[in-house]
Amino acid sequence: MKTRITELLEIKYPIIQGGMAWVAEHNLASAVSEAGGLGLIGAGGAPAEFIREQIQKVKEATDKPFGVNLMLMNPEADDIARIIVEEGVKVVTTGAGNPGKYMAMWKEAGVKVIPVVASVAMAKMMERGGADAVVAEGMESGGHIGSATTMTLVPQVVDAVTIPVIAAGGIADGRGFAASIMLGAEAVQMGTRFVVAKESIVHENYKKKVIGAKDIDSEVTGTSHGHPVRQIRNNMTREYVKLEKEGAPFEELEKLTLGALRKAVVEGDTVNGTLMAGQIAGLVKKEQTCAEMIQEIMAEAEKLLNR
Ligand code: TUI
């Protein structure tokens, strides 16, 4: 399947792996790229030099295109933005903010820039700033989210910009892929399904929680202070939501989540860790290789789209 995104990124299939903090490291990114999608290293809150090492490991593992997701709240974002250029990374996606201040540097270096947006206004601003494409991410997604759903956001962004749009949020199979194409998207970005990939280094306990999750098992924390984060409900989210209802200050809430994503991903703490996952976790039923996932999704989508 050819779209402006497969042409722009020189990839075989229009499937991009989400740039998930802690989860999207070199093993997962190189597996997705080797399978014909676009693998991403998720910078999350990691130190800049760690990201450089991750980039170098992907380069050793595959000669296919891959990218880096720069989470803009990272305190070392400036250094990571520069490392992306120094290491010759071809694609950058950004999240949780406005990447405007890096745009000129990246464009000059020939890096393809794809900001993740959660609104039409942000999509238009990014297009004006020189973005090559945007990811329109609905609130079905795991992690830090906006307020519009994928179903409503994607067609509105498609109508508002001329650059290609990638749909994200609630997509995990060929039906979601085909539906995204129908909404005008030219690729999809998936996170939750890749969390349980065989090549994903996520702790088995976390993977089991995603595989066992039902449709309404996620919870959004952080709405009281403007940083909503979707994750699978557990002891930590119950406590968080309770404190939020009582009007607890941010400093107190932060104590619950500090280091909690690492606790879940690395240590497998499903009780007090942050189990970021999207609403589509209920559809994710087994661990497969990235290649198996991509092949299955493309075969199903092509059948549906040809009908
Ligand atoms: O960035 C994400 N998802 C993320 S980042 C992340 S790391 C984190 N960990 C703990 C707490 C908070 C964050 C986990 N998940 N998705 C892309 C995304 N970007 N969703 C929404 C946005 C967004 C929000 C505001 C993009 C732009 C924006 O603009 C604000 C502005 O500056 O105008």
210-213 contact pairs (CB < 8 A, 24+): 210/275, 210/277, 210/281, 210/284, 211/284, 211/285, 211/286, 211/287, 213/277, 213/281, 213/282, 213/284
Residue 63: predicted pLDDT: 98
Residue nearest to atom 1 of ligand 1 (CA): 95
Residue 133: predicted pLDDT: 98
Distance from Cα 211 to the centre of ligand 1, integer Å: 25
Contact 89, 57 (CB under 8 A): no
Distance from Cα 304 to the centre of ligand 1, integer Å: 32
Cβ of 122 closer than 6 Å to ligand 1, yes or no, is: yes
What does the chain come to in residues? 307
What CA–CA distance (Å, rounded) separates 32 from 3?
A: 18
Which CATH code for domain 4-201+285-306? 3.20.20.70
List the domain boundaries for the chain.
Answer: 4-201+285-306, 214-276
Contact 170, 278 (CB under 8 A): yes
Pick out the chain residues at pLDDT < 70: none
Residue 32: predicted pLDDT: 99
Distance from Cα 95 to the centre of ligand 1, integer Å: 5
Rounded mean pLDDT of the chain? 98
Residues 6+ away with beta carbon under 8 Å from 42: 18, 19, 20, 21, 22, 23, 24, 25, 69, 71
37: exposed, middle or buried (Cβ count in 10 Å: 0-12, 13-18, 19+): buried
Each residue of 127-146: pLDDT tens digit? 999 999 999 999 999 999 99
Ligand 1 atom closest to the Cα of residue 143 is 15
Distance from Cα 70 to the centre of ligand 1, integer Å: 10
Each residue of 64-104: pLDDT tens digit? 999 999 999 999 999 999 999 999 999 999 999 999 999 99
**2 C-beta neighbours (distance < 10 Å), count:** 9
Mutate to test the pocket of ligand 1, among 92, 144, 190, 236 (most ligand atoms within 8 A of CB): 144
Closest CA to 116 of 150, 81, 77: 150
